[in-house]
Amino acid sequence: MAMMTCSECGRAVSSKAAACVGCGAPIEPPAGLAMARTPPPTPPSVRDLRRHLALAVAALFLGLIAALAADHDRSGDRLGQFIAALLLIAGICWTLVTLVRLWAAKR
């Protein structure tokens, strides 16, 4: 945060303030700060969401395969079980979130 001088009353004000606290004059941010401000994020398109859904279902499918493999292998491979559980939980959550976002985007 940079301090700057109000062009109306000469008081030191924050460059992040919308207006001077002393006189209420609008504050113009320095050109460098104005450029640094990022535009608001655009919502993902339906095409993007469909791609996310495909990835989410793929993660879920991989988790299912890993779970079946871990179940088949009775050697007690904790890492395999952990990865299978992680992929299943992440896949389920990601799929549900993407389905809701897709449903909301189509409305």
Query: How big is the chain, counted in residues?
Result: 107
Of 19 and 54, nearer to Zn ion (C-beta) is 19
Of 3 and 35, nearer to Zn ion (C-beta) is 3
Angle between helices 78-106 and 46-72 (to 10 degrees): 160
The one segment of 15-23, 47-55, 65-73, 79-87 that binds Zn ion by CB under 5 A? 15-23
Told to check if 19 binds Zn ion by CB under 5 A, we report no
Told to check if 8 binds Zn ion by CB under 5 A, we report yes
Of 6 and 49, nearer to Zn ion (C-beta) is 6
Question: What span, in angstroms and rounded, lies between the C-alpha atoms of 34 and 53?
Answer: 36
Applying CB under 5 A, among 16, 19, 22, 65 the residue interacting with Zn ion is 22
Told to check if 28 binds Zn ion by CB under 5 A, we report no
CB neighbour burial string for 2-27, b if at least 16 within 10 angstroms, e if fewer: eebebeeeeeebeeeeeebeeeeeeb
CA 70 to chain centre: 32
The one segment of 3-11, 35-43, 51-59, 62-70 that binds Zn ion by CB under 5 A? 3-11
DSSP 36: H
Positions touching Zn ion (CB under 5 A) are: 6, 8-9, 11, 20, 22-23, 25
